[in-house]
Chain A
Amino acid sequence: MSEIRDILVEQVERLLTDQSNPTLLRAAETGTWPATLWAEIEALGLPLAMVPEEQGGAGLGWGDAAAVWHVLGRHGAPVPLAESMAAAGILATAGIAPPAGLLGLVVPREMGLPWGRQVENLVGILDGNVVLHPATAHKHGLQPISRLPYDGRVPGHRAAAAALPPALGPDGALLAGALIHAALIAGALEAVLDMTLDYANTRKQFGRAIGGFQAVQQLLARCAGEVAATGVAVANAGRAADRRGLAGAEFEIASAKVVAGEAAGIAADITHQVHAAIGFTDEHPLHLFTRRMWAWRDSCGAERLWARRIGDAALARGGDRLWADLTSRDEETAA
């Protein structure tokens, strides 16, 4: 929890409050790249925020970065800043100077890259190395639920490679991607809850605001529990990654992605139910967030993948170790 994090969170909040809106989010779904917004983000140096200060970045850790991504998600993540930030951070950790321009984070088994068509360079982890390739030929794709560009890119010649730092681990790109999408969901959850609270307090039926009905209150209270749980799970995952590297934070990142994915489903059910027919229309902005959450929960490993990883590890360790493992992670590091 650093001072620089507070500054960046506030900067991103201000910028997106100003510039991200339903019109921009809708335009993205027809392939219009928010060039002005991206230019401002680059001018603020945000894509390099995870690069150490001495290399021209802001030196954000994973926890700090997750806080920025959380804000991004609350505004519908109009640009793939999170992926570009993480890719630059991974390069810098391996000692490779990040090139200018949008970076794509290559996550194994993902069908495409968010806004892949705009990506200039690809960053991935391959055979024990962090590698950097220029992005060449591309194939336009579409994420079927968010309807956002989700393009395939062909890596060009290898521009740089460096030995993989153990803190990242062979799954580093997947773990980073999972943390990103959990954080984006955490933010989007706040957006849909706030939107729904406003609606419940203004929409009147039977002569009163529908938020006055216990049936509606009970649903929204449950939704708030899911929103809070996801926020805590993401913060915990970021803290764990700062303490033990991405590889050492697999349990916490996996947990965050599982909780975020489950919460996305539950919160989308509840917020659509409370909005009723108007929330099912194209005109109402609710779906700009719920569709993104549904897409994000499938990105970089859905609940199934991450839950299995946690479960396999726990089953291998056995019941006698279950509680000890749950409590020891942060205490051993702190000790």
Chain B
Amino acid sequence: MTALLPRRGLAQILALIVILAVDRVVSPQFFDLRLQDGRLFGSLIDVLNRGTPVALLSLGMVLVIATRGIDLSVGAVMAISGAIAASLADSHGLAVVLAAALGAGLLCGLWNGFLVSVLGMQPIVATLILMVAGRGIAQLITEGRIVTFTSPDLVWLGNGAVLGLPVPVAIALGMLILTGAVVRGSALGLLIEATGGNARASELAGVGTRAMILAVYVWCGVCAALAGVIAAADIMGADANNAGLWLELDAILAVVIGGTSLFGGRFSLILAVLGALIIQTMNTGILLSGYPPEFNLLVKAVVVLAVLLLQSPKLPGLAGIAARLRRAKA
């Protein structure tokens, strides 16, 4: 389906290939894979596994950004859902745990969506509230401790394997397919893009723009909650202070790298996830090359600047050339 993978993904794929190649240079075993206990191991799998939380966040974030919004609270929502999951894990079944954690994410999303679409607050302002308070709520749930659990079900969610893939990767893949099916399989994608592209015109064409905006924040909350559960399952515990810390920024960065404009409109789920993978591939590469992991931040800063400058309306250079190439091909 071309709607899922637009032609404009070329730059992102090239970037990923280049970074992979660099990783291969710094770490000759980078592409090695081996099967052990029914699960694949290797740096590539590691990239996928570690990239899962941001990839999940970016699935929700890309829809929010497509409506000209932004959700700063996803990191805090991760902390909340992780705290809930960890607190319930040893006393309840997996279904209850998941329902409670995802339900909390849904409520958080509803709250954000309500502030933006009904009260008409600026998204950055509205979601800042939960960004600040959310972490406090998560700490309230864990009572400030790092809550650990042993529930094998939940542990499996973070560390098990399905068809050789780590469960988190399988879940992220499943969410990508699910989101893609919901968004592109229904009319949601078109109506979201129309809302982000021109809300007034869409409203006059009969599109329920408020409902669209509410829906994307709810979905963003659910995706963040799932990421939070997986992060908690991964470390077999919930750390309300650090779970999902600064990941909202990575998620936004992933979406931006994925070519979705911060000014709304056209979006691509796959490219957003690809953006998340690009970020993680860089992280892993830096780790493998022996630099301290903190070095990541510098690289990220450079990437943000580069992407921004490429997308800047004042610098038509590259975007213009790309557009001309595309036209020439068409």
On whether the two chains bind one another, the answer is no
Residues on A lying within 8 angstroms of B by beta carbon are none
Residues on B lying within 8 angstroms of A by beta carbon are none
